[in-house]
Structure 1
Amino acid sequence: MAQVLLQTSVDALVGTLSGYVTNVIGFVVGFVLTYLIGKFAIVPLVRRVLERRGFDRTVLSLLDSVLAALVVVLAISIGFMAAGFPRFLTAAATLGGALALAIGFAAQDLIGNFVAGVFIIKDKPFEVGDWIEWNDNSGRVEDIDLRVSRVRTFDNERITVPNGELANNAVTNPVAYDTLRQKFVFGIGYDDDIDQATDAIVEEAESVSGILDDPAPSVRVTELGDSAVGLQSRFWIDQPDRADFVKTRSQYVQAVKERFDEEGIDMPYVHRQLTGEVEVLESVAEQTVSADGGADE
């Protein structure tokens, strides 16, 4: 009887161990096969497809990291299925969903900026080196990260801007195209000749090297102010850059001002004169004096 019980115990132990070994072998085989297929077949295939579609290197690097993590998770899941533990997948999926929901609520701003960074890199509304304007701010883009973009202002300050702010608001990119149109309003007196002033403005624009001849500069009467007639000059510059734009604009305005001075064209400015009188009521003053005297007594 003892030998029979011992033999039964040994057989049960061997059967249990063999079951464990089978589970371990199944997990290892499932994990290794899934990992190798994902790493050397799926990930390179996805990367080649994205490269053909012209995705940025930053996006490709990010997707490599994400795909590598997904391959590991998938390999672990397949390994447990091959080992005969399907319940583990259910529990892991439930726990993962709860964790993802909690992380999503806690880091929604971070995730929003991250997604916005992906779209900025993909859509390219601006690139590194561009001069941009947004929400009364302006500067030159120094770096575009997945979470923030760094902009160097023209006062030599650095602004770290969350990508969500740039993706969800209007951003002006003055250097997106090869040319840029600018406008400036010159004011002349009501007694001055508009045609003479217009000719002077156009001729001075044509003499500035940074202003294009095609499209040609033009002038329109746009304002009838309190003390001046507004003539709006429209001109184009080539290969717009803020330094060149500011320099060209300054040279042009100075040239027109000097031309107006030579031809006697007035550039009036708004002036106001305050008129009125100050009236002193003696009765009120006497009442005040008497009241002070009564208080002294």
Structure 2
Amino acid sequence: MLPLQADEVVDALDPGAVVVSAAAFLLGFVVVLLLGKTLFVPAVRRVLGSRGFDEVVRSLGTSVANAIVWVAAIAIAFTVAGYGAFLSAFAVFGGALALAVGFAAQDLLGNFVAGIFILKDKPFEVGDWIQWEGNAGRVEDIDLRVSRVRTFDNELVTVPNGDLANNAVTNPVAYDTLRQKFVFGIGYDDDIDEATDIIVGEAEKHEDILDDPAPSVRLVDLGDSDVGLQSRWWIEDPDRGDFVKIRSEYVQSVKEAFDDAGIDIPYVHRELTGSIETIEAIAADE
């Protein structure tokens, strides 16, 4: 059976009916569009702003709200004009198409959603130094799909936001101070208390190492050839460059102080014993 009977086709082609339908379509479209633009879109932007979302998310929300208003205006206009059956068929087709696209682009959509959460929760920001899954670098850009990180070897790494949102990310510069650690190995015959005093003293001399919290030392390891003393100290306004610089200067000063005090920093000695047997095979002349 055809969707439209002959008399329905004739009615639809009647000039008067066409004018009325067109007027109804235009009126419904304009009314819904104006209400959406003046009420719905600004309300969405205000709600996103009140919840602390980033400007990128607010802009995205505004774009989505505008798209919703246009779709709603067209849908309501078709309904008011008397073309609800056409609209229903189009909606079914559009839903099937959206489902197919969703399955095909699920990773892309996942990264997109992850980008929104990163911009909202702010586990890190542009300029922060982060570490994730064995990688490290400074964040240069946070997009809705990917984040761009410049490594300390000056390489640009483009990371899908899903990887950063679904895995542990360390942000060493999230707070005003950062604790650093280093294990100094001394010989078993060396004085632990003397070595501890030197380690703490060199930390207290360094102008970039904080006095509060104070530097401290813990015995953490009895190795095959050394005693491990772990030094812990704090720095202010942590930055990758400062982190490396302060650590290098401090470790060097402790090493030089150990040398002056006659404290040995041993290294592993290995002795290989055994014998090598050689067998010579002499082929007989035939």
Q: Same fold (TM over 0.5)?
A: yes
Cα distance between partner residues in 1 of 2:13 and 2:262: 111
Cα distance between partner residues in 1 of 2:108 and 2:163: 12
Cα distance between partner residues in 2 of 1:67 and 1:187: 62
How far residue 90 of structure 1 moved from its aligned partner, in angstroms, is 1.3
Cα distance between partner residues in 2 of 1:206 and 1:33: 73
Structure 2 counterpart of 1:167, from 165, 184, 197? 165
Counterpart AA for 2:216: S
Cα distance between partner residues in 1 of 2:166 and 2:206: 39
Cα distance between partner residues in 2 of 1:192 and 1:15: 104
How far residue 279 of structure 1 moved from its aligned partner, in angstroms, is 2.9
Cα distance between partner residues in 1 of 2:13 and 2:29: 24
Cα distance between partner residues in 2 of 1:98 and 1:15: 31
- Once structures 1 and 2 are overlaid, which stretch shifts more, 90-99 or 232-241? 90-99
Partner of 1:139: 137
TM-score, length basis structure 2: 0.94
Q: SS where residue 119 of structure 1 aligns?
A: helix
CA gap 1:228/1:13 in 2 versus in 1, 3 angstroms: closer
1:190-269 pair list within 5 angstroms: 190-269=188-267
Cα distance between partner residues in 2 of 1:264 and 1:92: 86
Q: SS where residue 185 of structure 1 aligns?
A: strand
Cα distance between partner residues in 2 of 1:77 and 1:91: 12
CA gap 1:172/1:14 in 2 versus in 1, 3 angstroms: closer
Residue segments in structure 2 that go unaligned for 5+ positions in a row: 1-9
How far residue 280 of structure 1 moved from its aligned partner, in angstroms, is 4.0
Structure 2 counterpart of 1:66, from 51, 64, 67? 64
CA gap 1:65/1:29 in 2 versus in 1, 3 angstroms: same
| Contact persistence 2:44–2:61 (CA under 8 A) | no
CA gap 1:50/1:21 in 2 versus in 1, 3 angstroms: same
Cα distance between partner residues in 1 of 2:13 and 2:223: 101
Partner of 1:83: 81
- Once structures 1 and 2 are overlaid, which stretch shifts more, 195-204 or 52-61? 52-61
Partner of 1:16: 14
- Structure with more helix by fraction: 1
Q: How many residues align?
A: 277
Partner of 1:154: 152
What whole-Å deviation, never above 9, does each CA across 1:212-258 have from its counterpart, x for those lacking one? 10000000000000000000001111110010010000010001001
| Contact persistence 2:147–2:158 (CA under 8 A) | yes
Partner of 2:123: 125
CA gap 1:93/1:196 in 2 versus in 1, 3 angstroms: same
CA gap 1:14/1:93 in 2 versus in 1, 3 angstroms: closer
Cα distance between partner residues in 2 of 1:104 and 1:52: 30
Q: SS where residue 184 of structure 1 aligns?
A: strand
Counterpart AA for 1:274: L
Structure 2 counterpart of 1:108, from 103, 106, 109? 106
How far residue 52 of structure 1 moved from its aligned partner, in angstroms, is 1.8
Cα distance between partner residues in 2 of 1:244 and 1:129: 15
Q: SS where residue 276 of structure 1 aligns?
A: coil
Instruction: List 4+ stretches of structure 1 deviating above 4 A.
Output: 12-15
TM-score, length basis structure 1: 0.91
Partner of 2:44: 46
Counterpart AA for 1:254: Q
What whole-Å deviation, never above 9, does each CA across 1:18-63 have from its counterpart, x for those lacking one? 1111111000000000001001111011111211221111001111
Q: SS where residue 19 of structure 1 aligns?
A: helix
Cα distance between partner residues in 1 of 2:48 and 2:32: 22
| Contact persistence 2:138–2:150 (CA under 8 A) | yes
